[in-house]
């Protein structure tokens, strides 16, 4: 296992029609600790796959250096990097059995037959593959194949990091839960460095200790799932994480009050010095808005109500702004009649200037 250091990495696939070099990945510096679980999250084309390929060695970055511990691996080819990778579509050697698949990377590295046998048995047991070791890989279901390809990485004692490229894409939702929890469990047992690329926030957030949100080649925010959820540093992160995403409402802010189309909303922090001429917005999670039962709060009109079983999503209009409100199952709010009112949790209302989070001052 290794610590991975990305030192001013940037990558360009070439110049555009106007002759300007276009960067698929803009300069970034980052250190990933040994034994950590990291997720690269973002929409397609955000540069996450480029970054993954730079770490695996399939791409040499245009600029910057990659180091595994203290070894500079920027120009080291994939096969000498001690990394393993699980791909979007399961890659198994069809003509081999599960056991032969697992043994393959060890055989190629010249491990003794007894050693191979021991490792394969051990990994198979941990992945719950021990019952199908003798089966040919071809006929297996997608989730088992994916475990086999993960196993080919885990089985190697020398692996510095395991990379995952949207590995659950072809897995049914119910099986995703099983695979995901197994993966997490394995990570706790082995303590290897794992890097997981996905566009699915649930996968990223549940998997990683540290999630790196990317957008148009830039790292927008790197943080724990909690940080990303409660204090997104950019409205893009607020929108991208959460389902539905954060409500973003244009507002004017003075001190610890915000004015949204004439309505006053209390804030948990004070903002005495907001940049002049900046576009000011409030960011509020649907989870931080509630319908009030006692007549307090702001009157809204209910536009739509979706029942998702364990909660409902109410789409309301507040002084001309549309907001999503998440209504938990246990909140027996009756929204069928009357004039609903909503209240904000002041501590969970963020203020953004030109899309960037403003820290504010504790009151």
Partner 1 sequence: MEKRENQKAWLMILPVVVVVAFSAIIPLMTVVNYSVQDIFGPNDRVFVGADWFLAVLNDRRLHEALLRQFLFSALVLVIEVPLGVLIALAMPRKGIAVSFSLVLLALPLLIPWNVIGTIWIIFTRPDIGLLGHTINSLGISFDHTASPFDAWITLMLMEVWHWTPLVVLLAYAGLKAIPDAYYQAARIDGASAWDVFRYIQLPKMRGVLTIAILLRFMDSFLIYAEPFVLTGGGPGNSTTFLSIYLVKLAVGQFDLGHAAAFSIIYFLIVLLFSWIFYQALNTIGTGDRR
Partner 2 sequence: MLLELDQVSRTVGGESHLRDVSLRLEKGTLNVLLGATLSGKTSLLRVMAGLDRPSTGRLLVNGADVTGAPVHRRSVAMVYQQFINYPNLSVYKNIASPLRLAGLLRPEIEHRVRGAADLLRLTPLLDRLPGELSGGQQQRTAIARALVKGADLVLLDEPLANLDYKLREELREELPKIFAGTGAVLVYATTEPTEALLLGGHTATLHEGRVTAFGPTIEVFRRPNTLTTAQVFSDPPLNTIAADKRDGGFYFGSIAVPAAGALAGLPDGGYTIGFRPEHLYPDRPAHTAVEIAARVVITEITGSESFVHVAFAGRRWIALAHGVHDLAIDQTVSLFLDPARFLVFDRGGALAAAAA
Q: List interacting residues with partner 2 (CB under 8 A).
A: 43-45, 142, 172-174, 177, 180-181, 184-185, 188, 199-202, 205-207, 224-230, 239-245, 285, 287, 306-310, 328-330
In this complex, which beta carbon is closest to partner 2, that of residue 125 or of residue 185? 185
Choose the contact partner of 139 out of partner 2, partner 1, none; CB within 5 to 8 A by kind. Answer: partner 1
In this complex, which beta carbon is closest to partner 2, that of residue 71 or of residue 185? 185
Choose the contact partner of 336 out of partner 1, partner 2, none; CB within 5 to 8 A by kind. Answer: none
Q: By CB neighbour count within 10 A (0-12 exposed, 13-18 middle, 19+ buried), where does 150 fall?
A: buried
Choose the contact partner of 43 out of partner 2, partner 1, none; CB within 5 to 8 A by kind. Answer: partner 2
Report d(CA 342, CA 52) in Å as an integer: 43
Choose the contact partner of 115 out of partner 2, partner 1, none; CB within 5 to 8 A by kind. Answer: none
Choose the contact partner of 239 out of partner 1, partner 2, none; CB within 5 to 8 A by kind. Answer: partner 2
For the bound state, the minimum distance from the C-beta of residue 84 to partner 1, rounded and expressed in Å, comes to 6
Interface size with partner 1, residues (CB under 8 A): 29
Question: Could you say which residues in the range 10-49 bind partner 1, by CB under 8 A?
Answer: none
In this complex, which beta carbon is closest to partner 1, that of residue 97 or of residue 206? 97
CB 74 within 8 A of CB 80: no
Residue 315: enclosing H or E segment and its boundaries?
strand 311-318
Residue 224 interacts with partner 1 (CB under 8 A): yes or no = no
Report d(CA 169, CA 153) in Å as an integer: 19
Choose the contact partner of 184 out of partner 2, partner 1, none; CB within 5 to 8 A by kind. Answer: partner 2
Question: Could you say which residues in the range 83-142 bind partner 1, by CB under 8 A?
Answer: 83-85, 87-89, 91, 93-97, 104-105, 108-109, 134-136, 138-139
For the bound state, the minimum distance from the C-beta of residue 104 to partner 2, rounded and expressed in Å, comes to 27
Q: Give just the sign of the alpha carbon dihedral 235, 204, 142, 108.
A: positive
Choose the contact partner of 135 out of partner 2, partner 1, none; CB within 5 to 8 A by kind. Answer: partner 1
In this complex, which beta carbon is closest to partner 1, that of residue 2 or of residue 83? 83
In this complex, which beta carbon is closest to partner 2, that of residue 94 or of residue 329? 329
Taking the CA atoms of residue 264, residue 269, residue 275 and residue 276 in that order, the dihedral angle to the nearest 10 degrees is: 30
Report d(CA 345, CA 349) in Å as an integer: 7
The tokens 């917005």 sit on which residue? Answer: 281
If we measure between CA atoms, which residue out of 238, 227, 222, 203 comes closest to residue 51?
222
294 CB-side CA count, 13 A: 2
Residue 152 interacts with partner 1 (CB under 8 A): yes or no = yes
In this complex, which beta carbon is closest to partner 1, that of residue 94 or of residue 303? 94
Report d(CA 330, CA 318) in Å as an integer: 24
Q: Which residues of 65-84 are buried (b: 16+ CB within 10 A; e: fewer)?
A: ebbbeeeebeeeeeeebbbb
CB 121 within 8 A of CB 130: yes
Q: Which residues of 327-338 are buried (b: 16+ CB within 10 A; e: fewer)?
A: beeeeeeeeeee
Residue 190 interacts with partner 1 (CB under 8 A): yes or no = no
Residues that bind partner 1 (CB under 8 A): 56, 58, 77-79, 83-85, 87-89, 91, 93-97, 104-105, 108-109, 134-136, 138-139, 149, 152-153
């Amino acid at each position: 296992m290794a610590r991975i250091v990305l030192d001013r990495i940037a990558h360009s696939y070439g110049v555009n029609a106007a002759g300007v070099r276009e960067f698929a990945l803009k300069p970034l510096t980052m250190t990933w600790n040994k034994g950590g679980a990291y997720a690269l999250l973002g929409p397609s084309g955000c540069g996450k796959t480029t970054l993954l390929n730079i770490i695996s060695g399939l791409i040499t970055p245009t600029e910057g250096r990659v180091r595994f511990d203290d070894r500079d691996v920027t120009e080291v080819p994939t096969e000498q990097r001690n990394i393993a990778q699980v791909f979007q579509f399961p890659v198994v050697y069809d003509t081999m059995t599960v056991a032969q698949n697992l043994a393959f990377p060890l055989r190629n590295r010249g491990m003794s037959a007894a050693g191979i046998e021991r490792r394969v048995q051990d990994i198979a047991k941990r992945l719950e593959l021990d019952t199908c070791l003798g089966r040919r890989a071809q006929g297996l279901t997608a989730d088992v194949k994916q475990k086999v390809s993960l196993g080919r990485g885990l089985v190697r004692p020398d692996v510095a990091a395991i990379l995952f490229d949207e590995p659950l894409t072809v897995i049914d939702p119910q099986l995703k839960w099983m695979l995901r929890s197994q993966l997490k469990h394995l990570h706790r047992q082995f303590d290897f460095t794992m890097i997981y690329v996905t566009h699915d926030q649930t996968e990223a957030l549940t998997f990683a200790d540290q999630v790196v949100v990317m957008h148009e080649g830039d790292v927008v925010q790197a943080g724990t799932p909690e940080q990303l959820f409660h204090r997104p540093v950019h409205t893009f992160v607020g929108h991208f994480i959460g389902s539905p995403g954060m409500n973003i409402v244009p507002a004017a802010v003075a001190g610890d009050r915000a004015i949204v189309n004439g309505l006053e909303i209390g804030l948990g922090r004070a903002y005495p010095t907001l940049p002049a001429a900046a576009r000011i917005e409030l960011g509020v999670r649907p989870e931080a808005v509630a319908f009030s039962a006692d007549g307090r709060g702001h009157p809204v009109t209910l536009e739509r109500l979706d029942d998702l079983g364990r909660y409902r999503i109410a789409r309301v209009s507040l002084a001309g702004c549309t907001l999503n409100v998440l209504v938990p199952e246990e909140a027996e709010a009756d929204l069928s009649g009357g004039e609903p009112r909503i209240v904000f949790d002041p501590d969970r209302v963020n203020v953004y200037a030109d899309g960037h989070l403003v820290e504010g001052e504790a009151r």
